[in-house]
């Protein structure tokens, strides 16, 4: 095999994109040619570095600072919904069961009168 290997072909070799026959030819060549084998190793390292570039673990202090805000984003709408539901329930009772409020008011007034005797 000549040393006029196409760099794109070596990249395709690393990615497993060659035909099995061509892949086998390159394996044989790389076994006997230190220059090409070293180039392929550099390509492999560059590929790994490219995939992991910029991937860093977020420090625990940053995560601790972010989590409460994330909870608040969920908690505030839930509390607002509960308050709204409570208010709507009260309005519905007052509108659709007006007699109930009158009865309760009468019972309270009666109890107050009895206590005053």
Token output for 70 = 């994330």
* Residues 88, 60: Cα–Cα separation, whole Å: 43
* Residues 31, 8: Cα–Cα separation, whole Å: 19
CA distances from 46 to 27, 67, 70, 85 (A): 20, 35, 37, 58
Long-range pairs of 74-79 with CB within 8 A, sequence gap ≥ 24: none
pLDDT digits (tens, 9 = 90+) for 7-52: 888 888 888 899 999 999 889 988 888 888 888 899 889 888 887 7
pTM: predicted TM-score of the whole model, two decimal places: 0.43
Q: Quote the DSSP letter at residue 53.
A: T
């Amino acid at each position: 095999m000549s040393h006029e290997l196409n760099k794109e072909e070596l990249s395709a070799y690393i990615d497993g994109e060659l035909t099995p026959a061509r892949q086998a030819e390159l394996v044989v060549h790389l076994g006997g040619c230190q220059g090409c084998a070293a180039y392929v190793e550099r390509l492999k390292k560059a590929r790994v570095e490219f995939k992991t570039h910029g991937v860093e673990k977020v420090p625990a202090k940053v995560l601790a600072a972010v989590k409460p805000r994330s909870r608040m984003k969920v908690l505030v709408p839930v509390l607002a919904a509960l308050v709204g539901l409570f208010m709507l329930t009260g309005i519905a009772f007052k509108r659709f069961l007006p007699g109930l409020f009158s009865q309760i008011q009468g019972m309270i007034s009666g109890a107050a009168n009895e206590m005053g005797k």
